[in-house]
Amino acid sequence: MKHLICGVGVVGKATGTYLEANSEEVWYYDKNDFRLKNIKNCIDSLISLLVESFDILWICAPETAVEDILKKVPKLFKLEKIIVVRSTTIPGTLEKLETKYKITNLVHNPEFLRESNAIEDTFNPDRIVVGASKKALTTSIFDIYKSIKCAKYRVSLTESELIKQISNAWLATQISFWNEIKELCDSFSINSQTTANIVTKDKRISKYGSIMTGKAFGGHCLPKDLEHLIECFENQNLNSYVLHMVRNKNDMLRSKE
């Protein structure tokens, strides 16, 4: 099949690398020409007539750009083409866009990649999640990932979006938890890292975030996705006491840096 990847950042490059490794024809588009440097197969416009020649459009751009991209390819909505969004959209976003633009071929396939190990994580994921309103769409995406041996889950668009948001919020929560434990250990003048190492020998307790640096989590994904999940609670008229404390703890640590 012929694929077009829209957004050639960490996720877009990793996705393209996987597809190319499986003998798929891959082309790239990014509004930032610098990202297309040294890429052989690239296009310089998202004109609908041009995009129609591709079987699958992969949107790997920031979530704020997803709707803008969809607006540029309206003819794809009426064709038997698949539009795969890998962006971390806020839960409910894609179902709203699906209704708003009458899209029948929309898929959400979230990435669970570490920026420093994006290629490795793409080829060796813990799980693959595909959200879609039609079983046939999910089956098509699973077929693309047939060379990967891991658990694969068919869910709705909103479930897929929520799974990604919750995953990052949980990672953020673990970091804030261990940062608090470090402060407690320091108050007793005991070795916080030794304590954490022994606690995490329990197979039920993840080691993630237990490296006792005492630093706030930063980067692009964790703060953003934590904030979006808090907003999601608020939009549903719910309170998230835990997530607010995670954010507050991190903000406090940042203020000390």
pLDDT digits (tens, 9 = 90+) for 89-124: 999 999 999 999 999 999 999 999 998 899 999 999
CA Rg value for the chain: 20
pLDDT at 51: 86
CA–CA dist 69, 174 (Å, integer): 35
Hey, where are the domains in the chain? 2-155, 162-256
Can you list the residues of the chain whose pLDDT is less than 70?
none
pLDDT at 47: 82
Q: Strand, helix or coil at 4? A: strand
CA–CA dist 109, 84 (Å, integer): 7
pLDDT at 234: 95
Closest to 50 (Cα-Cα) out of 8, 84, 4:
4
pLDDT at 82: 95
pLDDT at 49: 73
Residue 59 host element (H or E): strand 56-59
Residue 225 host element (H or E): helix 221-235
What CATH homologous superfamily does 162-256 map to? N-(1-d-carboxylethyl)-l-norvaline Dehydrogenase; domain 2 (1.10.1040.10)
CA–CA dist 159, 147 (Å, integer): 24
Largest alpha-carbon pair distance within the chain? 67
pLDDT at 187: 97
List the CATH code of the domain at 2-155.
Answer: 3.40.50.720
% of the chain exceeding 70 in pLDDT: 100
Residue in 6, 60, 221, 232 annotated catalytic: 221
pLDDT at 22: 96
Whether 251 and 231 have beta carbons less than 8 Å apart is answered as no
Give the global pTM.
Answer: 0.92
23: region left, alpha or beta (phi > 0 left; psi from -120 to 50 alpha): left
Whether 175 and 209 have beta carbons less than 8 Å apart is answered as yes
pLDDT at 38: 83
CA–CA dist 112, 149 (Å, integer): 16
pLDDT at 138: 95
- Whether 221 sits among the annotated catalytic residues: the reply is yes
